[in-house]
Amino acid sequence: MTDVSSVSGANSSAAAATAATAADVGKEFNSFIKLLTAQVQNQDPLAPLDSTQFVEQLATFSSLEQQVHSNDTLEKIATLIGDLHTIASAGYLGSTVSVETTWAPFNNAAVEYAVEIPASVERADLIVRNAQGELVYSGPINPADESYAWTGETDAGDAAPAGLYQFGIDLYQSGQYIGTVAPRMIDPGTAGS
């Protein structure tokens, strides 16, 4: 008859081996099979493990293995996308870059932007709001100009504090409001290049 202390020692070593195997789950499927075999060989004959536990362990291991493979694949895809961005952005070296957005940071330096205003528009107003949505500045811009700058002036006449601001260009035709467009913010690091 098997000594109970040697069985419990074998079970604890099997549990330790399970933890070690889980760390390298994507490459060690054979180790799992060996562990499962060792667990069956060393189980207490008076209290054998239920066969459904083996199936659950195998299903869990299989699921973990798939997750590891998925993570590896996602890492490879992310690396490829990063490489593509690097290759694509190399063509913009020395160029002025602009991004269409309604939000831009203001750090006590002029925020440069451009906007394409249709020829039929008679009036265009720059609207600037702070992060809380409160109106900070509202003023006309010349629809014929190609680029503009907001230097931080406010309707109250003081300077706006540094922070994140929302920009919009309200368009009017025949005295009627016809919509708001987002400006294209010009990266200050590339302006004038």
Q: Residue 139's beta-bridge partner residues?
A: 126
115 shares a domain with 69: no
Domain membership of residue 193 (yes or no) is no
Task: Give the pair of three-digit tokens for residue 188.
Answer: 């200050």
Of the pLDDT bands very low, low, confident and very high (cuts 50, 70, 90), residue 192 is very low
Domain membership of residue 67 (yes or no) is yes
Domain membership of residue 175 (yes or no) is yes
181 shares a domain with 108: yes
Q: What is the pLDDT of residues 6-16, one digit of tens each?
A: 444 444 444 44
Domain membership of residue 62 (yes or no) is yes
Structural domains counted in the chain? 2
**Residue range 62-76: mean pLDDT, rounded:** 87
The H or E element spanning position 15 is helix 4-23
CATH label of the domain that carries residue 115: 2.60.40.4070
62 shares a domain with 128: no
How, if at all, do strands 176-181 and 111-114 pair? Answer: unpaired
In 42-182, which ranges are continuous DSSP H helix? Answer: 51-90
Identity at 169, one-letter amino acid code: I
Q: Which domain holds residue 85?
A: 4-90
Of the pLDDT bands very low, low, confident and very high (cuts 50, 70, 90), residue 101 is confident
On whether the pTM is more than 0.85, the answer is no
What is the model's pLDDT at position 24? 54
